[in-house]
A and B are shown apart, each in its own frame.
Chain A
Amino acid sequence: MSPLLRLEGIRKSFAGQEVLRGVDLDVAEHEVVVLVGASGSGKSTLLRCINLLEQIDDGRIVLAGDDISDPRVDADRVRSRIGVVFQHYNLFPHLRVIDNVTLAARHVHKMGKTDAAGRGLRLLTRIGLADKAREYPDRLSGGQQQRVAIARALATDPALLLLDEITSALDPELVGEVLDLVRSLKEQGATIVMATHEMAFARDVADRVVFLDGGVIVEQGAPDEFFDHPREERTRRFLARLAH
């Protein structure tokens, strides 16, 4: 079966500094791939390239058979097929929770107001926040905001979900509720590429762990194998540093 997402030789530099130096990665449908790597290793950059928020310098990105790195594709349409959640819960502060969740459905997918609201409310029910639908984001805790951000990313039924360190700005006691939501998305068959510092969670939820260092994928594998029997010296050093 051909992968849902295929990255071929992705390169990206900022002002002469090469951040990605040829990344190849296949992600199958329903697969959860976890990106790990030191801060500054290019995890966020890679996720932003997949979503076309950054323009790659070389390589190819194929989503469900379409070359989305072709400049002739409509980037807005591609983005609407990919859900993204960032580290900082950047909900729209001027919109109520329900309007945050339904914004893309209404304006990108041109869904009717009542249809979108119904869908949005079902999503909020699923994440246990239906009672907050009429609130503004600043009335929600960090964990609740991040769950709403996930619901917002799901609202348009994306083929692929990109999560970039979605728990690293949260107080420790709020991390659990967000990770539980990601776990349930996996059980429902979502395809996810996520960057995280939560190694316990990575081991638990990942189908595959991918270690990024020096702009390339140094090692990848099933979580137990990756964490317990790393093959590469650089991986061992990275994991040893985390253990402290």
Chain B
Amino acid sequence: MTVSALELERRRYRAGRARRSVWVGIASTLVFAALVVVGLSLTPGWPVVRSTFFDLGEAREAFPRVLQGIWLNIRVLLTSAVVILLFSVIVSALRTLRGAVFLPVRLLMTGYTDLFRGMPLIIVLYLVGFGIPALGFFPRLPAEFWGTLALVVTYTAYVSEVFRAGLEAVHPSQRLAARALGLSYGQTLRLVLLPQALRKVTPALMNDFVSLQKDVGLISVLGAVDAVRSAQIETSLSFNFTPYLLAGLMFVVLAIPMIRLTDWYSARLQRREQMGSIV
């Protein structure tokens, strides 16, 4: 296919403009970064801050221990994510039950979600992690078990609400069409409503997963030797805070793929909706 000289000229112009924008972007970023670095180094406390937070030697020394710690965070994260998803589906399904017979179930579920959406996670951690073992009823279990349980209890309250919103966003005619075919209530939920709800709430679920990724660091308050706790141990040995920064960076590295994936998926979903197709 031949392209007219006019169009070629237009393309050259657009390409030139695009190149220029890239260069302007890079240059302004570099200038800004330089200003920040220079500005920081001129502050009176900078030499002390640099040696206590940005000590490369300390970082290298703490690395193996903190890495081992984050492996515990990853295991807790994956376990609790699966359990939260499962429980949330059940809780949200229970909350959709209609009829007077199910009133107690609905009330119970509503009470549960209200309670744990309102209560700060750190307090749930203390109550579950120190309270339940103190009953003396359960065998001795590691701190990370109680930490996982506290995360599950708190996050299920949030995530089940996300699911419920998703179920309510499915058009009522879908339920009607399914029932008209003779599908039972349970089959309608499982085969028609939940799959559609899940698609609708995937971006919200991914966001919750990202915030769960950070909150797994809180199990350290129960004494679980995760990345945060490991960093604390290293810090107490050297009186240097660099290990905390190291642990923080590890959490960021862990989260970035999921954050990017969430952005990409949400953008794709939005594009599809703008094209007028039904998801």
Contacts and interface: CB of A to CB of B under 8 A. Distances in A.
B276 to A, nearest CB: 8
A135 B85 CA distance: 30
A94 B195 contact: yes
Interface size grouping (class) on chain A: 20 to 34
Contacts of B183: 76, 103-104, 107-108
B181 A80 contact: yes
Interface string A132-162: 0000011000000000000011001000000
A74 to B, nearest CB: 9
Contacts of A77: 182
A156 B182 CA distance: 10
Contact of B180 (A84, A91, A138): A84
A152 B173 contact: no
A125 interface: no
Interface centre among B173, B177, B179, B180 (most CB of A within 10 A): B180
B181 A86 contact: no
B182 A76 contact: yes
A107 B189 CA distance: 13
B184 interface: yes
A191 to B, nearest CB: 17
Contacts of B180: 51, 53, 79, 82, 84, 86
B60 interface: no
Contacts of A90: 171, 173-174, 176-177
Contacts of A201: none
B232 to A, nearest CB: 47
B268 to A, nearest CB: 15
Given A86-B177, A93-B196, A94-B196, A138 B187 contact: no
Interface in A156-211: 156
A119 interface: no
Contacts of A79: 179-182
Given A79-B182, A80-B182, A93-B279, A107 B187 contact: yes
B135 interface: no
A88 interface: yes
A25 B179 CA distance: 24
Interface of B is mostly: helix
A227 interface: no
Contacts of A92: 174, 177-178, 192, 196
B279 A108 contact: no
A77 B181 CA distance: 9
A2 to B, nearest CB: 24
Nearest to B180: A84
Contacts of B22: none
Interface in A28-51: 51
Nearest to A81: B182
Contacts of A138: 277-278
Given A90-B173, A107-B187, A152 B196 contact: no
Interface in A66-114: 76-82, 84, 86, 88, 90-94, 103-104, 107-108
Contacts of A86: 173, 176-177, 180
Contacts of B277: 138
A206 B65 CA distance: 81
B196 A156 contact: no
Nearest to A92: B192
B115 interface: no
B191 interface: yes
Given A53-B176, A90-B171, A92-B192, A104 B278 contact: no
A138 B279 CA distance: 9
A137 B277 CA distance: 10
Contacts of A156: 181-182
A48 B174 CA distance: 15
B173 A108 contact: no
Considering the complex of A and B, which 7 residue pairs feature the smallest CB-CB distances, nearest first?
A: A80-B182, A104-B181, A84-B180, A108-B182, A79-B182, A90-B177, A90-B173
Interface of A: 51, 53, 76-82, 84, 86, 88, 90-94, 103-104, 107-108, 137-138, 152-153, 156
17 contacts: A53-B180, A76-B179, A76-B182, A76-B184, A80-B181, A80-B182, A82-B180, A84-B181, A90-B171, A90-B173, A90-B177, A92-B196, A93-B278, A103-B181, A107-B191, A108-B183, A137-B278
Given A53-B176, A104-B182, A104-B183, 7 more contacts: A82-B180, A86-B173, A86-B176, A92-B196, A93-B279, A107-B187, A153-B181
Interface of B: 171, 173-174, 176-184, 187, 191-192, 195-196, 199, 277-279
